[in-house]
Amino acid sequence: MEQDTAKNTAGFITSKDSIDGGYPALILAVNARRQGLRAKIFYTFMGINLIRKGRSSKAKFYMPGFIGCLPGMTYLSTFIMKQKIKKSGMPPLDEMINMAIAEGVEFIACKMTADMMGLGQEDFFEGVSIGNAEDFLNYGKDSKILLFT
């Protein structure tokens, strides 16, 4: 069971709204919850798009390097990555978010980023709170785990 002490907490930061930017924090946070840790994910910069209503299912996979610059490569690499995810039995990103919510993971949208992008509470799915970096750092400074994914 979850114990309410700083050493039984885990925090993760997501700054990319791509497929490979979204999964790591979700997987780690769900597993942290299953180990009895309180888990929060702080979404900042472009990562904030993953917790906006209807946006996570539109996440793409961007090939690194020069090959990723070729016309159509993002479409092709996204298609291939989604097929690999499906074949492996992993849930799509939007279902993974719902799984994390069901497990009790807390989602925080960066206030500075939300303000910069003109976003309000109504732009995020239910259960997302808007918080500032200082509050998240206060949570994370004594956490057992704090990772930038």
- What structural domains does the chain harbor? 7-148 (3.40.1260.10)
β-strand partners of 39: 10
**Per-residue model confidence (pLDDT) at position 73:** 95
- pLDDT on residue 6: 63
Spatial CB neighbours of 61, under 8 Å, sequence gap ≥ 6: 18, 19, 20, 74, 77, 78, 80, 81, 82
Q: Is the pLDDT of residue 5 over 70?
A: no
* The pair of three-digit structure tokens given for residue 5, joined into one six-digit string: 């002490």
The predicted-structure confidence for 117-131, as pLDDT tens digits, reads as follows: 999 999 999 989 999
Does pTM top 0.85 for this prediction?
Answer: yes
Q: How far apart are CA 34 and CA 26, in angstroms?
A: 12
Q: What local confidence, expressed as pLDDT, does residue 1 receive? A: 43
**Burial status of residue 38 (CB atoms within 10 A of its CB: 0-12, 13-18, 19 or more):** buried
- 18-32 pLDDT, tens digit per residue, is 999 999 999 999 999
pLDDT, tens only, 58-88:
999 999 989 888 999 999 999 999 999 999 9
- State the amino acid at position 85 in one-letter form: I
